[in-house]
Copies of this chain bind each other. A is one copy, B any other.
Amino acid sequence: MNIYDIAEKSGVSIATVSRVLNGSDKVSEKTKEKVMKVIAEEDYTPNIFARGLSGESTRAVGVLVPDISDNYMARAVALIERRLHDKDYNMLLSCSGFRAEEKEEHIRMLLEERIDAMILIGSTYAGSDTKSHNTGYIEKAAQKKPLFLINGDVDAENIFCTFSNDYAVSLDLTKKLIENGRNRILFLTDSESYSAKKKKAGYEQALEEAGIAPNPSLMCHIRNNIEETVSYLEENHPDFDACFATDDAMAVGVLKYAMKHGVSVPKDLSIIGYNNSELALATTPELTSVDNKLEKICDDTVIRLFSVLSGNGFVPRRTSVACTVVQRGTTNH
């Protein structure tokens, strides 16, 4: 069933059918109705390849996410998908894992596909200032399609970034912990991502301002997983009176460890998580966490995406969104 069949059955040419399909105004009402009727009867849908081949927009966006089973990223994908669907766009989702080579491969594969633009979630993509990050492949990809980074920051042509003020939030939270008398603050992170680095920098700055010497045994790089966090603590038994984790799963691990060993939270131990996921509500006491306004970040990204695609007007390349702290039972203030 193709456009020729429809044309024949409605007694018009394929050009007319095409016009009807694309809502051109150069078709008489009578003809339009006639053709629409046949289309409906035959349950005909145009071949997307043929459409794409003749130069139209693909109406699809590629989304790359390191791990969709991570609640934070899943929420981001859900938000993005809704916005794209609203605009009749499809989403090609690829789950790359965290390694740069994997990402590069997934990006390549997505770019081979029918996409108008690409969204990269997760801040493993970092700015030119952060020397340790190899962003070359991202900049290369951006030469083919506009690229949108969520929680990333690469300052280059055709790359659009949205991220949150993690440094300021982390600095502020750590300071507050110190003001409340904590001075052995465990910092837990699971990645070398851009946002993780910003959080760490804020933490370190707060320590420095308070004159507390950074303690390497309190700055741990572990996997973002409840059980592995517990095992890590069981093995190393660090001496701490507060914990600041870059994701809620690790913070929950700390809480479980504390409860198991009879440490009173928040009296003798303060715990702060990040990303304000469902996990933060599962525990008793509930977890204090940072809400980094994922919905706003995603909306912002998709809005700018469509601005870029429609080509109208200037679109800012870098946008920052402010987090808020959600005070719950694992901290006092």
Give me the interface of A with B, judged by CB distance under 8 Å. Answer: 43, 45-53, 58, 60, 63, 67-71, 74-75, 77-78, 81-82, 85, 88, 90-95, 106, 108-114, 140, 226-227, 249, 252, 255-256, 259-260, 278-279, 281-284
Contact = CB atoms under 8 A, between A and B. Distances in A.
A9 to B, nearest CB: 19
A291 to B, nearest CB: 15
Nearest to A230: B281
A46 B283 contact: no
Contacts of A49: 48-53, 58, 114
Contact of A282 (B43, B70, B279): B279
A42 to B, nearest CB: 13
Contacts of A111: 45
Nearest to A73: B74
A231 to B, nearest CB: 12
Contacts of A108: 45
Given A53-B53, A278-B249, A281-B226, A90 B74 contact: no
Contact of A114 (B67, B71, B114, B259): B114
Given A68-B77, A69-B75, A279-B278, A46 B112 contact: yes
A298 to B, nearest CB: 12
Contacts of A48: 49, 52, 112-114
Contacts of A281: 226-227
11 contacts: A48-B49, A48-B113, A49-B51, A50-B53, A69-B71, A69-B77, A69-B78, A70-B74, A71-B74, A85-B109, A90-B110
A70 B53 CA distance: 37
A227 B43 CA distance: 44
A111 B48 CA distance: 10
A263 to B, nearest CB: 12
Most buried by B among A69, A77, A85: A69
